[in-house]
Amino acid sequence: MAEKTASSDQQQLHVFFFPFMSPGHQIPMLDMARLFAKRGIKTTIVTTPCNLSRFQSIIDRDRQCVNVEIDLHILKFPSDTVGLPHNCENLDSLPSRLMSNSFSRAVMMLQPQSDDLVRQHQPDAIISDLNIPWTAQIAEKYSIPRIVFHGTSCFSLCVTDSVSKYKPYEGVSNDWMPFLVPGLPDRIHITMSQMPGRFFRNLGLQEFFMQFVEAERNTYGVVANTFYEIEPKYIEHYKKIIGKKIWAVGPVSLCNEKDMDMAERGNKASIDKDQCLTWLDSKEPNSVIYVCFGGLCAFAESQLVEIGLGLEAANYSFIWVIRDGFGDGLAVEDLEDRVKGRGLIIRGWAPQLLILNHPAVGGFISHCGWNSVLEAVSSGVPMITWPLFGEQFYNATFVAKQLGIGFGIGVYTGLKWGEEEQAGALVKRYRVAAVVSRLMGDRGSVKEMRERASRLRQMARSAMNEDGSSNGNLDLLIEDLSTLKKERLAKGDEVS
């Protein structure tokens, strides 16, 4: 490859990415950064040592491609300063949810290091997670545009905005009484027990959250991991709400086309890729139910017992992912013996994309984090929704009511962070068995769900194709940032 000249370096767009250190935020932003790099944009990912170890191999493979330039800058995460264990650099590695406030303080302390990096490298734009509000101050200081990434659906953002703006819960007599959320394109009902703020009240994060609102005022626009065809009314509605540009560029997970990239996305899988594929290859199409609740799920031991016994009773093939560090008191070995050949239990990190894309998988029990919803949509897999906290109840409503590709397991409130063990088993084994049997039985309305899921799969993939809506939006975003760069350079020339 020919060496670049100083002039070509000046013309090349350079974008800094600041992913938040939590699986559901970090994974899609890294995919997005890789999409930029594959378009010839100089891309810099700012992260910490332990987080880098999770995705280094994927980045190294990308760097072997011609014209792909991805730089990595490492920040020292001040775990010790705020009283966190050494190498605790991601929300999923916290020994207790009650330490979330300490983690947020550590994130805020990364600003000086990041300011130095931006000053030294002079990027043309910053794409930052919502949860890193100080990037707005840095962008303003160096007169570069900041694009914010929320990591959820525009539907959820619109519901959250309307609840905040109109306060429709005032006067509602109890936590479980549904109320209408005004100001939305559709009639959407929620309950107070499902509102995101409820799950974090005991963590002292209100001041941290308030800084997000202030940072958004100093933001050029929003980049979203969604696609126009899945929620056109809510993309347009959210655009009106914020009065800024929004670019829907997803599902970004579809940039992972190779089995190895799917297997290592987010972290190295706890099961060998070939072992997982061999097991799935032995199953009939649509015969396996996949059960996974994301990287931050924290169930009581009693709930894990009920899930395991429910899956056993349903008598369908299943893959069940138990988060690392949980279920240690669960007699998984006994269960594995009883369901040998029919059930595959993965302790730790699962290669979710690889699993969902396999034709043997016919259903997904999910917490309804937005990444999981999009990955199910992109794979054409219908869902059983089991939201746990945050905006997951809103996403579950979107899956069931707007998309029509799933139904709920029957939970009406989530788990407050740090109080999961006290909640016990909210869903009993008979309910787990019943919903699995309903989805996998393929009768009546489930056939229609499968047909809708199949159509959405095609829409998602079309959006990322060369002439697709998301592909075009990414082009428009890059073009917009390039124009802003030219304008800044021109002003600089005038001043000089």
Instruction: Kindly tell me if the per-residue pLDDT of 251 is higher than 80.
Output: yes
Question: Distance between CA atoms of 312 and 432, rounded to whole angstroms?
Answer: 10
pLDDT (0 to 100) of residue 1? 37
User: Does the pLDDT at position 330 exceed 80?
Assistant: no
Neighbours of 337 (CB within 10 A): 9
Q: How many domains does the chain have?
A: 2
Q: Write down the H helix ranges in 180-271.
A: 206-217, 232-242, 259-264
One domain for residues 202 and 337: no
Q: Are residues 382 and 443 in the same domain?
A: yes
| One domain, residues 226 and 291 | no
Tell me, what's the pLDDT at 96? 82
| 132 and 272 fall within a common domain | no
For residue 223, the model assigns a pLDDT of 97
109 & 235 share domain = yes
Are residues 303 and 417 part of one domain?
A: yes
Top-confidence range, 1-10, 64-73, 472-481: 472-481
Residue 327 pLDDT > 90, yes or no? Answer: no
Give domain status of residue 261, yes or no: no
58-67, 133-142, 435-444, range with greatest mean pLDDT: 133-142
| Percentage of residues of the chain with pLDDT beyond 90 | 70
At 298, the pLDDT band (50, 70, 90 cuts) reads confident
3 has pLDDT over 80: no
Higher pLDDT, 67 or 306: 306
Q: Both 283 and 152 in a single domain?
A: no
326 vs 447, residue with greater confidence = 447
User: What would the mean pLDDT of 17-34 be, rounded to a whole number?
Assistant: 96
Domain interval for residue 287: 267-461
Q: Residue 396 domain-assigned? A: yes
Share the mean pLDDT of the chain: 90
Say whether pLDDT at 207 is over 70: no
Reported as a pLDDT band with limits 50, 70 and 90, residue 468 is very high
Are β-strands 70-74 and 317-322 bridged in parallel, bridged antiparallel, or unpaired?
Answer: unpaired
Residue 400 confidence (pLDDT) above 70: yes
CATH number at residue 438: 3.40.50.2000
Residue 360 lies in a domain: yes
Per-residue model confidence as pLDDT tens digits over 116-160: 999 999 999 999 999 999 999 999 999 999 999 999 999 999 999
User: What span, in angstroms and rounded, lies between the C-alpha atoms of 330 and 308?
Assistant: 9
Residue 192, token pair as written in the block = 């107070």
- What does the pLDDT read at residue 10? 60
User: Are 274 and 189 in a shared domain?
Assistant: no
Statement to judge: residues 227 and 274 lie in one domain: no
Lowest pLDDT segment from 38-42, 337-341, 365-369, 425-429: 337-341
| Residues 238 and 301 placed together within one structural domain of the fold | no
Percent with pLDDT over 70 in the chain: 92
Enclosing H/E stretch for 248: strand 245-248
Could you tell me if residue 259 is inside a domain? no
**Tokens 């190295």 found at:** 268
Question: Structure pTM?
Answer: 0.93
pLDDT in tens, 79-105: 999 999 999 999 999 888 788 889 999
- Evaluate if residue 361 carries a pLDDT over 70: yes
Task: Tell me, yes or no, whether 332 and 456 share the same domain.
Answer: yes
In a domain, 283, yes or no: yes
Highest mean pLDDT among 215-219, 266-270, 389-393: 389-393
| Residue 2 maps to a domain | no
Contact of 58 with 266, CB cutoff 8 Å: no
Domain contains 56:
yes
- Is the pLDDT reported for residue 253 higher than 50? yes
By annotation, the residues acting in catalysis are 25, 129
Q: From CA 106, how far away is CA 79, in angstroms rounded?
A: 7
Residues 346 and 319 sit within 8 Å (Cβ to Cβ): yes
Pick from 88-92, 279-283, 312-316, 330-334: least confident: 330-334
Are 49 and 178 found together in one domain? yes
Q: Does some domain include residue 4?
A: no
